Amino acid sequence: MDKFCTKRLVIVLGMHRSGTSAITRGLMALGVDLGDNLMPPLEENNEKGFWEDIDISNLDDEILHYLGHDWHTLKLIRQTEFERNDLAPFEHRAEELLRETTKDKTVFGLKDPRIARLLPFWKIIFNKLDIEVSYVITIRHPLSVVQSLNKRDGFELEKSSYLWLNHLVPAVLDSEGNRRIVVDYDLLMAHPKKQLYRIAEALKLPFDASSPGIDTYIKEFLSDELRHTQFCIDDLTNTPGVPKDVVEAFCLLDKLARDEMSVSSEKVHECFTQLAIFLDKMSPAFNYMTRSDEQIVNLKHILSDCKRQIDNLNQMIAEHDKQRIERDALITAIKSSYSWKITWPLRFIGTVIDNLKR
């Protein structure tokens, strides 16, 4: 089997709607190759691009669905689920896909928010290919994520809060032992060069503050329209419905993003280990919420089908009404005609004869 000893892979981990796209585009400014099979921009979603490989994203979706999950399900993905023998075909596809994707590339960047929850699966592939992996753990204020998901997907605050936690806890714990850095999206928007320098320093990437790539990224890619909301930590603690564990996790991650604490510190490990234990205790509730979500989706599909049938029936009724109006208009026109009037005596005599016969 070919080895990729000289190859490096930079993985961007984070929750959906957390600025992972902007940070991944920042990696390109640092010389990281993102490939040429990228998901196209989507209006009113990611107008400036997702910067993620289409095939990798599709494969992650397939794996999640095969395991009975979706990108937004709260049901936990257990370590034992990645040890199933029936995942072998997915492992083979992932290995070949990553081998082909990183071919002829020294430093390759990969971003898909689903990877945060599928990292145990991908680590098996990284080990098989002997790729040197480093991580950028992306954070954004949970309330910004909550508002964005509510606008785009209609999710409630509680679901989005736990979903944020379900992505960040495994992102921190499963990336241990590798080069990694925590980057805050709002700090990147406020001080892009400083944050790019932090990433370059942590991941051993070249950095030239005056390079055309960095200049283009800051002046042409980053803009205020990328950031619709901005909150502080007090907003999080004062918002009813936000779980205290989300507040605790974000406060710690915020310190890591400001270099007030090392991501490799024992306190970080202990804190996120306790958060993982908490999520495990919440598992029955998450399972119930996931089933409830599935029932709601099914009911919405049924309702949609009923509405479609009603629309079809209303269209048929409207068509029948149109035909009736046209028919009545035709009858009125005939009865008003000269020929109808002069033949009235004949019709009257015919009616009399018919009555006499009966």
Q: Are 8 and 131 in contact (CB under 8 A)?
A: yes
Structure tokens at 114: 């689903």
Please tell me the least confidently modeled range out of 24-28, 38-42, 217-221: 38-42
Residue 4 has a pLDDT of 38
* Cβ neighbours for 217, distance < 8 A, ≥ 6 positions apart: 25, 26, 28, 29, 192, 196
Percent of the chain at pLDDT > 90 equals: 81
- Cβ–Cβ contacts within 10 Å for residue 173, how many? 15
**Which of 134, 138, 254 has its CA nearest to residue 200?**
134
For the stretch 209-256, pLDDT in tens is: 999 999 999 999 998 667 667 899 899 999 999 999 999 999 999 999
Structure tokens at 104: 């002829």
Please state, in angstroms and rounded to a whole number, the distance separating the CA atoms of residues 295 and 303.
Answer: 12
Q: Are 127 and 82 in contact (CB under 8 A)?
A: no
Mean pLDDT of 148-156: 93
Structure tokens at 337: 């005609």
- The CA distances from residue 287 to 82, 116, 157, 166, 230, in Å, are 19, 19, 18, 13, 32
For the stretch 251-272, pLDDT in tens is: 999 999 999 999 999 999 999 9
pLDDT: which is higher, 298 or 358: 298
Mean pLDDT of 6-12: 89
Please tell me the least confidently modeled range out of 5-14, 76-85, 91-100: 5-14
Residue 140 has a pLDDT of 96
Please state, in angstroms and rounded to a whole number, the distance separating the CA atoms of residues 305 and 2.
Answer: 52
For the stretch 158-174, pLDDT in tens is: 999 999 999 999 999 99
Residue 68 has a pLDDT of 93
For residue 341, is pLDDT > 90? no
Mean pLDDT of 26-44: 91
Mean pLDDT of 94-106: 92
